Amino acid sequence: MRFSANLGFLWADRPLPDAIRAANTAGFDAVECHWPFDVPAPLTKAALEETGLSMLGLNTRRGDIARGENGLAALPGRQADARAAIDEAIAYATGISASAVHVMAGNSSGPRARAAFCENLIYACETAGDSIQVLIEPLNHYNAPGYFLSTTGQALDVIREIDKPNLKLMFDCYHVQIMEGDVTRRIESLLPFIGHIQIASVPDRGPPDHGELDFAYVLPRISELGWVAPVGAEYLPKDGAQSDVSWLARYR
């Protein structure tokens, strides 16, 4: 099994190009990130080419963080801002040959929010074209209270309604375990709709080598189901120990 280092959490104290190099040294097969926009795309691309790693994905901007915004796509009346964020993320992804963009929904609810989300996702899918996947991700209501998507069922309803081949589910085992449980059966049933899988321990979001979710069982099951893409390691390092990747060799 192959793994991707999420540089939003791992080596987050370093400039993105240096974090890419650190992930390569640690033995990861790919990288992914959250919001790389402060780093010019050519610098990121150069680090990727130097290491031979691919960038699996990045997020659209959250919006006004000081006001508590956590995405824009499901905010009624914010279509222009949401689409500017989508354009920016797709352009950056294209510039570094990233394979996916996670369109962040934001904190909202109700029919108007859902309509805005669907309209903006259609725009994202059409703008991304064939080379970039558009991902949506349910977030748990402890880490992201008020977020528009909190369950895989909600996400699946949106994916089915929009019916675009490049719209997929980001299945984060950490969030799904907290909100729904039954992780391996959910992966099995949702596999045709999943574009990326992420892992972290539950409930502390630490390295995936402890906690209530047994990745020694989950990861082999994912492999048995035919998943061949790198699994994203999106976890908080223990005590800030950025080099704590002892789990990596064990789960390979």
| Given 49, 119, 126, 137, the catalytic residue | 137
The closest of 172, 132, 122, 124 to 152, measured between CA atoms, is: 172
In the numeric block, which tokens belong to residue 150? 């909190």
What the block records as the tokens of 115 is: 């309509």
Distance (Å, whole) CA 2 – CA 31: 11
Q: Which residues are CB-contacts of 252 (< 8 A; sequence separation ≥ 6)?
A: 1, 3
Catalytic site includes residue 137: yes
| Residue 63 · residue 86 · CB < 8 Å | no
Residue 214 CA to residue 184 CA, distance in Å, equals 10
Per annotation, catalytic residue among 88, 188, 212, 234: 234
Active site residue 212: no
111-128 and 79-96 helices cross at what angle (nearest 10)? 30
Length of the chain measured in residues:
252
Residue 111 CA to residue 76 CA, distance in Å, equals: 10
Among all residues, which ones are annotated catalytic?
A: 137, 234
